[in-house]
Each structure stands twice: as C-alpha cells, then as structure tokens.
C-alpha cells in the first residue's frame, strides 16, 4: 500500500490547491491537510474567506 504524499486542499477562500506534504511525517499529513483547509491559500489571495458563499 502506497503512502499518500499529495493532498488536494479546498481552502477557506474557495481555491483548490494540490499540496505536496512529503516533507511531513506520514502520520501527521492528514491533520495538517485539515488545518490547511481552514486557511486562505496564500498571503496574496484576493478572495477573503468571509466573502465565500456556498
């Protein structure tokens, strides 16, 4: 069974980004991916999370 190293993250701003998490310990990648989902995708993101509607 292969160990997953890339995660498709839908950030709180609505952007989808594939992150390579191979630099993190395998048992911590899923938790870090969940943490990333609650953050904007970058400092230069032009869509504040408070304006995203679903």
Tell me what pLDDT residue 46 has. Answer: 63
Tell me what pLDDT residue 42 has. Answer: 67
Compute CA distances 1 → 4, 5, 22, 29, whole Å.
9, 13, 16, 16
Distance in angstroms (rounded) separating the CA atoms of residues 46 and 48: 6
CB 37 within 8 A of CB 12: yes
Tell me what pLDDT residue 19 has. Answer: 87
pLDDT 10s digits, 3-52: 889 989 887 777 888 889 999 999 999 999 888 888 777 656 665 555 55
Identify which has the larger pLDDT, 44 or 1. Answer: 1
């Amino acid at each position: 069974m292969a160990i997953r190293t890339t995660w498709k993250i839908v950030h709180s701003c609505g952007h989808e980004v594939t992150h390579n998490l191979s630099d993190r310990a395998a048992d911590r990648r899923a938790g870090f991916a969940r943490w990333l989902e609650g953050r904007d995708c970058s400092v230069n993101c032009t869509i504040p999370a408070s304006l995203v509607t679903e």
